Structure formats: structure tokens, C-alpha cells
Chain A
Amino acid sequence: AQTVTQSQPEMSVQEAETVTLSCTYDTSENNYYLFWYKQPPSRQMILVIRQEAYKQQNATENRFSVNFQKAAKSFSLKISDSQLGDTAMYFCAFMKHSRGLGTYKYIFGTGTRLKVLA
């Protein structure tokens, strides 16, 4: 069974600094997708960034980028120039399609609570 591990329950970073959140996963699949979601204190879960496993190039969205290491099954999120609004719970998620069922399955990590300090 697939698992997603976020080993850092809490982290803090100074405003304007860079922080990296770690995520590892376990799967025997070759084709899958990976996501980072952000859940601010207001609770709305927001998509931050997504990556297809067969793409070597790391995904980037403005200040957010990932370091995808497929062989190591690692998918870390780097936040550059941290802002106060980045304070949130960050969830790493793994998704694969279920062959023959026409559906997909998401597995989430337990989250990393990030606090950006002024």
C-alpha cells in the first residue's frame, strides 16, 4: 500500500527566508502524481503545486518549487522569499489511477505546520 510521510510536524522560518518541507512516499507504481496543498488557518485547502512522476523537470509556481527525486521517492517543497501569508499547514499528497476502475486514489501525509515569523 502507498504511504506518504511528512517527518516535520512543525517548522518556522523568518520572513523573506527560504524553507524546505520534506515529503517521502512509498509506492511500487511507476506512473503517479504528486501534489502539495496548503491549508491556512481559515481552513480552505489550496493547491500549491503538482508534479507528474514521469516528468524529470521539477515543477515551479512562482516562489514555490519542488525537488522531485523519483528514485529516492522524495518530493520536497521549497518556499522562497517566505511571506506571512505562507503560514499554514502544508500537505503532501500522492495520487494514482486505479486501473480498470476509472477512478483515482489520493493519499495524504499528516502535514507540516509552517509558521512564518515577522
Chain B
Amino acid sequence: KAGVTQTPRYLIKTRGQQVTLSCSPISGHRSVSWYQQTPGQGLQFLFEYFSETQRNKGNFPGRFSGRQFSNSRSEMNVSTLELGDSALYLCASSATSGGLFTDTQYFGPGTRLTVL
């Protein structure tokens, strides 16, 4: 099976702009989670989607939003970019059927966002 894919791999934006990141999960996986990774904060959970519904949300401002499509692909949007949004954004997918193996998350390569 193909792994989790994320596009684009690199992005450079300026403050105030908005950005959309995309994630395609492993085939058959219905849960997609997003994380922000920074050197100082580690991995911070943004949100999780399952069957096009947001099931869980981390402590990020409303500028961060997401959605999931019927094919389980997910997008994350950040509006009004700030310098502090510069980070590696990771997407992870899982099958989610309530067990260790099905709830194990598999990660994509990430999108490196730089805000100038």
C-alpha cells in the first residue's frame, strides 16, 4: 500500500496570507490527524477527522481549520498567517476500529511551512 502523502512538501508565505495543505491517507484509513511540529514545542495536536467529521480538536486558534472529503483525503487551512506558524505540519492516518493495530497512526513526510 502507498503511504500517507502530503502536498506540497515546502511552502513559503508572507504574514497575513492564507495557506492550504493537503493529506492523502493510506488506502482504507478513515481517520486523519494533523500535527504542528516545532523545535521548541514538539508535536502539537491540531485536529482529527473521521468520516468527514471533526472528532477531536487541539488548542489552536480558529485560524487553523480543516476538513475531510468522502475519499478520506483531508485539507488543513491556516488563515492570516503569523510568523509563529512556521513549522512542519504532519498528517497521520489510521484505520480506527478501536484496537491497537487499527488505531496506530502512520505519518506522512510533512509540509514545511515558512512564514516571512
A residues neighboring B (CB under 8 Å)? 33, 35, 37, 42-47, 50, 52, 91, 95, 97-98, 101-111
Main secondary structure of the interface of A (DSSP, over half): strand
Q: Which one of B12-20, B48-56, B60-68, B74-82 is at the A interface?
A: B48-56
Do A110 and B45 contact each other (CB < 8 Å), given the known contacts A47-B106, A97-B98, A103-B56?
Answer: no
Is A103 within 8 A of B105, CB to CB? no
Task: Tell me, in angstroms, the Cα distance from A42 to B31 when the chains sit together.
Answer: 24
Q: Answer whether residue B71 sits at the interface, using C-beta atoms and an 8 A cutoff.
A: no
Contacts of B48 in A (CB 8 A): 103
Is B56 within 8 A of A101, CB to CB? yes
Contacts of B50 in A (CB 8 A): 102-103
Find residues 59-116 in chain B having any chain A CB closer than 8 Å to their own CB. 88, 90, 92, 96, 98, 100, 103-110
Is B104 within 8 A of A47, CB to CB? yes
Closest 8 CB pairs of A and B: A45-B107, A103-B55, A108-B43, A110-B42, A44-B109, A103-B56, A52-B100, A33-B100
